[in-house]
């Protein structure tokens, strides 16, 4: 167990060159943490956060970011990120059937995809999804997406796989 101000990422281990975009493991540095097995304080440790582990992107970005030691807003921002994480954690989760339906809609691509059909028909839900997506990602981040990233993120967003 560690204070978030004592945690930061050292390196990202990705296979983008092998087609595994946005699936990275992280080497994480943790200082002054408590080893729960022994109860002792450990000065420094490096750990690998596996690529397939559960991730809350907002919380993970904060945890892995380097923090300045004497920043007066550090604790306030940590409380905000923690409260948002707890709110998302406590939200109702989809049932197994609902999750299967979400994943099946996400996994379909090409001309038979429901999302693609709505895009092709200029369905009004597309504009609403884009508006909500802009609120979620922000204009700057969306502007930096390649067309492939944008399409993949649109499908994820519409399928409810982005939290």
Structure confidence at residue 105 (pLDDT): 55
Neighbours of 160 (CB within 10 A): 15
pLDDT digits (tens, 9 = 90+) for 133-150: 999 888 898 889 888 888
Structure confidence at residue 18 (pLDDT): 53
C-beta contacts of 140-148 below 8 A and 24+ residues apart: none
Residue 154 has pLDDT above 80, yes or no: yes
Looking at per-residue confidence, does 65 or 147 come out higher?
147
Residue 126 has pLDDT above 80, yes or no: yes
Domain boundaries, the chain: 4-66+75-89, 96-159
Whole-number CA gyration radius for the chain: 19
Tokens of 48: 């690998």
pLDDT digits (tens, 9 = 90+) for 21-49: 556 777 888 888 888 889 899 999 888 87
Give the confidence band of 1 by pLDDT, cuts at 50, 70, 90. confident
Structure confidence at residue 55 (pLDDT): 63
Q: What pTM, to 2 d.p., does this model score?
A: 0.41
Half-sphere exposure for 53 (CA within 13 Å, toward CB): 11
Residue 16 has pLDDT above 70, yes or no: no
């Amino acid at each position: 167990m560690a204070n978030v101000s004592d945690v930061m990422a050292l390196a990202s281990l990705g296979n983008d060159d092998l087609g595994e975009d946005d699936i990275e493991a992280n080497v994480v540095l943790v200082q002054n943490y408590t080893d729960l097995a022994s109860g002792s304080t450990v000065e420094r440790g490096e750990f690998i956060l596996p690529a397939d582990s559960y991730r809350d992107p907002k919380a993970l970005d904060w945890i892995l970011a380097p923090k300045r030691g004497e920043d007066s807003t550090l604790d306030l921002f940590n409380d905000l990120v923690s409260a948002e994480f707890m709110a998302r954690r406590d939200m109702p989760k989809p049932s197994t059937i609902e999750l299967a339906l979400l994943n099946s809609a996400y996994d379909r691509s090409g001309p038979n995809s429901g999302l693609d059909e709505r895009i092709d028909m200029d369905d009004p839900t597309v504009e609403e999804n884009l508006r909500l997506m802009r609120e979620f990602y922000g204009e700057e981040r969306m502007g930096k997406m390649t067309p492939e990233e944008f399409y993949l993120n649109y499908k994820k967003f519409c399928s409810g796989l982005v939290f």
